[in-house]
Structure 1
């Protein structure tokens, strides 16, 4: 072994997972050494490997290997990565409505820089279902993507193919952003909470069910300043400086954690966690997780696929302790639409919930209702050694327009979906949550206007 090989081998031994982000059906991790890996559903290029293939195990995104990536964020079916060193933001995946910020609606199968954000210091990226936002170093906010309900905060309902500055925050530095399906929330540096976009379920926290086209301040809670905010699909979670947790919005599945299934139009404290200081939050499609100062994870809401990590498939309307091994102190947690991922202080990575596209990273397509360690990434497993690094497909570097990729006969799409459901329904394991047909999960009360492909797989 020559010196170069020895240095590389030593780096692999020391490599750790620093951060994870979960999308609708895919997951991305940032490793020490500025490497990024992804796994799960790849149909829209959201894995960044130059093709549309699913990956059941973490795979290095080779296109980002020399990009000095410092942060990652998943949208539903797209992904972003940011380099603090080069002042560059990259995006890839499903491009409908301009959510990639490149000036078009084409899908992209390998990461490309967002030119409109080049040379800007970016403090945070927030990605929702079909829109994205960015906070600059001085607290200004840019938004782009879908805007049918005003979720971009620009004062209109026109989609934006390129990042645009939200003028409503001029002179008001923003600390943190969160994006849901069609709504957005923000916490400012002075502790104020804002909401805008689609408000049908009270998910803006403004006391009504109206949409807002520009950021509107949420009524202040006596004695509380907000420090964190997260969005689920159509609900919102926020944490105050005292570590108190508040939720509001849609609660059909108990995702507000208030002990009932009622929508709340204003922030209400989650009583079950009143004595816990919450240090991190994340919202899934219809479930929520919170991380306490002691490193314990609590979850509640929709649990059809075991995404709450409590050992069954029953919904919960109040926080439950996730069944992560007691000797593990969790440092970070992220909700996908139907799965959840967490990192412990010992650099072990656990995942649970829906696994039909391999988004749990265990090499299979099983659903799991109990957290399972991802061996390839965990320090107590293979410690990020020997993770696959695929060669990029030549075709993957091209932009592909929606009309080119989705000129599909509808009957063929239905047949394809039916086949995948039949396949996953016959997979059984001790900790697997039984699959239910897609039609059984349809929710007539929630409009779904994305017709690109079936969304409830």
Structure 2
């Protein structure tokens, strides 16, 4: 980690840069702004912010290492992050490297973005990051996976971790539209609307009618002819949306995260009846909570709410969808769930966050929890002081890039520790 005096902080001002995309990890956040600018904030202990150190950032900070690389997408895992440049045909990754989740062929932590050599030259359509594994869908509909694989979540037919991306051969001849990654399971939707699940299935989160693991993708056959359009994963639950905009959830529901008005697990996709009259435009899954965005810009949340991550003004768990209210009834255009916090972009070009704030992951310049949406001033057109984003530029001779596993040890998830993942605080 660099000494404090080695970091030069500058302020980025000028024309307003609109936030195009947001993504939330376990305790950090990232945003892609117009002009291909990337900002990150929150917990930095494992290098997941990409600023060359292990410091937390309480406000959005420009990730200078990605300047000029024409980044078009960013995705958070639990304690790692990825970005993609179409013009360079490179996927970059950084953060906690245990189990090979960074795809660089080793277990080392990485404090600045580095390209994944095995993916060089591939045109990537989408990247999904779970707790300890990642997947990338190519423009041709093929899927590469890497990282932790103890329950078969990589879909490679084994339980061996993969330190570099490998093609999922089970999808040969099947064009995949998108993938989603949970803690230890994975889901996918094909271009033809078929839904697949694989990996850890203890809570029915694969949608296959049982609690068994799968080492390769298996098609969900209980959808009564409905074609699926999108899928998202929470920690141990799965959310999907049909072509007709209907919302389905399945898996673990101890905290009501399935939204069916109870706390019962479901082993196959089950329609969320309370939103049956809404057309669902986007979905997101957190550690134990769920968000759904309707076509008319309304955002609903439910599930675990200890830190206010559902965003409805209390800290009680909700087993049915509840409408999240925004100032001046702003319409939402995008949402992302972290493990215990949530981010949203509104039509008015404002960015809001709520939930756990202990590491600054809400981007408000403080470490307070929030149980209703609060505007991130630096990223929003309505920010009271205009757009002011700090940029951290590390002296390359003084900052660490790689940190070997002998210096930093991972905590392996264990049911005896309440299923905790990573090195952060999960309460």
Q: TM-score interval w.r.t. the shorter chain?
A: over 0.9
What is the number of equivalent residue pairs in this alignment? 414
Instruction: Give the alignment partner of residue 330 of structure 1, picking from 326, 329, 332.
Output: 332
Structure 1 residues 443, 154: CA separation in 2 closer, same or farther (over 3 Å shift)? closer
Q: Does 1:404 align with 2:407?
A: yes
Structure 2 runs not aligned, ≥5 long:
1-10
Q: Does 1:453 align with 2:423?
A: yes
Structure 1 residues 132, 383: CA separation in 2 closer, same or farther (over 3 Å shift)? farther
Matched residues in 2 for 1:16 and 1:275: separation?
32
Instruction: Give the alignment partner of residue 357 of structure 1, picking from 350, 356, 359.
Output: 359
Deviations 1:30-68 (A, max 9, x none): 000000000000000000000000000000000001110
8 Å Cα contact 1:311/1:323 also seen in 2? no
8 Å Cα contact 1:13/1:383 also seen in 2? no
Task: State the match for 2:108 in structure 1.
Answer: 106
Task: State the match for 1:280 in structure 2.
Answer: 282
Matched residues in 2 for 1:200 and 1:328: separation?
39
Q: Does 1:161 align with 2:131?
A: no
Q: Which runs of 4+ in 1 moved over 4 A?
A: 442-446
Q: CA deviation at 1:385?
A: 2.8
Instruction: Give me the CA root mean square deviation.
Output: 1.9
Matched residues in 2 for 1:455 and 1:155: separation?
33
Matched residues in 1 for 2:399 and 2:299: separation?
38
8 Å Cα contact 1:51/1:393 also seen in 2? no
* TM-score, with structure 2 as normaliser: 0.94
Task: State the match for 1:19 in structure 2.
Answer: 21
8 Å Cα contact 2:377/2:387 also seen in 1? no
Instruction: Give the alignment partner of residue 49 of structure 1, picking from 37, 48, 51.
Output: 51
Task: State the match for 2:390 in structure 1.
Answer: 388
Task: State the match for 2:5 in structure 1.
Answer: none
Structure 1 residues 183, 109: CA separation in 2 closer, same or farther (over 3 Å shift)? same
Of residues 393-402 and 266-275 in structure 1, the stretch that sits farther from structure 2 once superposed is 393-402
Answer 1 or 2: which has greater helix percent.
Answer: 1
Matched residues in 1 for 2:186 and 2:386: separation?
35
Matched residues in 2 for 1:157 and 1:383: separation?
51
Answer 1 or 2: which has greater strand percent.
Answer: 2
Instruction: Give the alignment partner of residue 82 of structure 1, picking from 81, 84, 99.
Output: 84
Task: State the match for 1:258 in structure 2.
Answer: 260
Task: State the match for 1:146 in structure 2.
Answer: 148
Instruction: Give the alignment partner of residue 73 of structure 2, picking from 66, 71, 74.
Output: 71
Task: State the match for 2:243 in structure 1.
Answer: 241
> Which residues of 2 match residues 341-380 of structure 1 at below 5 A?
341-380=343-382
Q: CA deviation at 1:326?
A: 4.1
Q: Does 1:127 align with 2:129?
A: yes
Considering Cα pairs closer than 8 Å and 6+ residues apart, tell me whether 1 or 2 has the greater RCO.
Answer: 2
Task: State the match for 1:231 in structure 2.
Answer: 233
Matched residues in 1 for 2:12 and 2:135: separation?
38
Task: State the match for 1:221 in structure 2.
Answer: 223
Q: CA deviation at 1:396?
A: 3.5
Structure 1 residues 406, 338: CA separation in 2 closer, same or farther (over 3 Å shift)? same
Task: State the match for 2:7 in structure 1.
Answer: none
8 Å Cα contact 1:232/1:287 also seen in 2? yes
Q: CA deviation at 1:302?
A: 0.1
